[in-house]
Structure 1
């Protein structure tokens, strides 16, 4: 065997090792301290990046007002950060025009934790994940899947777009799958790492964030791939909230199977689709087919959820209490 062939085999083996190692890497963990009294407050926004159009700027204005009142610690984006086709690169002016230029209120100059949506996958995914954008605007942080540990609550951010079969077959749009293939290995490792991280979590509250719906009465409805692959893991690990975007509405659905609540905050800009499917009234707690956002306040014993419309009016409130210490 020639030296060239041996070298080629070694390089191939190293490449395979690196692919396996990277795909099996555990979810990246970020620490974000709660307030001195142990409480936490944040805003949740989804489906927003339209350079201020479709009431994006008005929603941003109200977010700034509510964010100041609640003294928020950070903001969550549930994806579809840049319409219609993500970013073209790190130098795409849409990043400034749809993000930095819009969310200017002092209260919103906190860390933004962002996941990717299906529209983001139509552009240069690596651009949104790039540290170059963090250098351009320090509040931006977007990764495929990761964890934010606040001690009082753990937030598990999940890259949901690769779960959806139709994106791999439709011919109308091109998707950037460069960091996802081989798809099945990517999904299996993600689910394994999420399950492991949820089981290891000692936080009082467990909250999972993704772009796509699990339960929804909106335009897109339920995402069957998440119902079959992701939902069982959430139920098994006693997740308290699943927060998503994708449907351009505000929505709260309870679960008859567990205490798990499904919360949609996808009203960051274009909304008012006008197509709502009937849902079991025992589970459907709230639906608003319009623009707005959501706040979450957390203490050791209570979570408070509030939905606001584009004018800052309160549309819906929900709370859950837990005992400070578990009883056996």
Structure 2
């Protein structure tokens, strides 16, 4: 009964926020969702996967299978999706069978039947972006929650989901053959300015021990797309000034960890949910590259009040890279 009430509340809030995002373009407090940590605020565990929605192809189903195993081992609280949820051009509408074919019918492990918190990627904007935000999809699969930008509060950590696609100028100035669904984000300059203001305000007001920001596009990357100039110029200064610990993204179809060269921020890419890319770019001027893998896989994050652990896994479930840090040490670097 408690789970049903919680699902109903999330459904109602999702619907209201979707309407507001489509109909208004004004600065407002980011929608917030409460996801209490286990054991009275003791610990949180979640998986991160990005760039996955290919109807099980390009090893998406294999990645899903391994995610189910790790999710069971860690007894995760939820799953984070870093965007590009449905290829190649998002969803066509609320009844698009791609939602079932690429999400519900792929992530079938019982351990993955937890809340999924998702942001939109640039491929999602190429379809009916508003459809992905619709509360109707939650009637099809109650795990699904996708908004443009929002906050998830777990008590010991707050996760700030940021809609990065409208920040990238190229999608407006040089869209090529692609058509983007910009409903709800125009005029884009005021949308981005209001969003950055909202993110900054939410970070300043946060009392959580850990602050984690999630967007689709990379701030720092040595893979195919590289750094996102607009995020480096506009978003990164806000993160540095407000004690953000982790920035997590997809977009580049790889797994990587890069340390900021001016703050304790770790840039973590988890974009290996299906089709992966080969090769890496120049490593200069991006920070300290701690890990790079150009294949399919996903990431786990576990944290308590004092420590965080990040693990990257490949398509066979093998742990490729493990990074741990105490909050005390992170704070001493600030």
TM-score after normalising by structure 1: 0.91
Partner of 2:11: none
Trace 1:178-197 onto structure 2 (pairs within 5 A). Answer: 178-197=183-202
Partner of 1:165: 169
Does structure 1 residue 234 correspond to structure 2 residue 239? yes
Aligned-residue offset at 1:282: 6.8
Find the aligned partners of 1:206 and 1:282 in 2 and give their Cα distance: 20
Q: Label 1:114 to 1:20 Cα distance change in 2 as closer, same or farther (>3 A).
A: closer
Q: Label 1:23 to 1:68 Cα distance change in 2 as closer, same or farther (>3 A).
A: same
- CA RMSD, Structure 1 to Structure 2 (Å): 1.8
Trace 1:58-137 onto structure 2 (pairs within 5 A). Answer: 58-137=62-141
Does structure 1 residue 24 correspond to structure 2 residue 16? no
Partner of 1:289: 294
**Higher mean C-alpha displacement, 284-293 vs 269-278:** 269-278
Find the aligned partners of 2:197 and 2:213 in 1 and give their Cα distance: 15
Find the aligned partners of 2:47 and 2:328 in 1 and give their Cα distance: 25
Q: Label 1:20 to 1:141 Cα distance change in 2 as closer, same or farther (>3 A).
A: closer
Aligned-residue offset at 1:165: 0.5
Aligned-residue offset at 1:26: 1.2
Partner of 1:217: 222
**Higher mean C-alpha displacement, 152-161 vs 34-43:** 34-43
> Which 4+ residue blocks in structure 1 deviate beyond 6 angstroms?
18-21
Match of 2:142 among 138, 142, 158: 138
SS at match of 1:225: helix
Partner of 1:251: 256
SS at match of 2:148: coil
Partner of 2:17: none
SS at match of 1:119: helix
Partner of 1:35: 38
Aligned-residue offset at 1:279: 3.9
Q: Which runs of 5+ in 1 are unaligned?
A: 1-17
1:37-57 C-alpha deviation (Å, 9 max, x unpaired): 510000000000000000000
1:204-235 C-alpha deviation (Å, 9 max, x unpaired): 00000000000000000000000000000000
Q: Are the aligned partners of 2:24 and 2:184 in contact in 1 as well (CA < 8 Å)?
A: no
Aligned-residue offset at 1:256: 1.3
Q: Label 1:19 to 1:146 Cα distance change in 2 as closer, same or farther (>3 A).
A: closer
**Higher mean C-alpha displacement, 171-180 vs 268-277:** 268-277
Find the aligned partners of 1:48 and 1:323 in 2 and give their Cα distance: 35
1:28-77 C-alpha deviation (Å, 9 max, x unpaired): 00000111151000000000000000000000000000000000000000
Partner of 2:6: none
Find the aligned partners of 1:312 and 1:177 in 2 and give their Cα distance: 38
Aligned-residue offset at 1:320: 1.0
Match of 2:50 among 46, 66, 69: 46
TM-score after normalising by structure 2: 0.89
Aligned-residue offset at 1:278: 3.0
**Higher mean C-alpha displacement, 165-174 vs 115-124:** 165-174
Kindly tell me the number of residue pairs found equivalent between the two proteins: 309
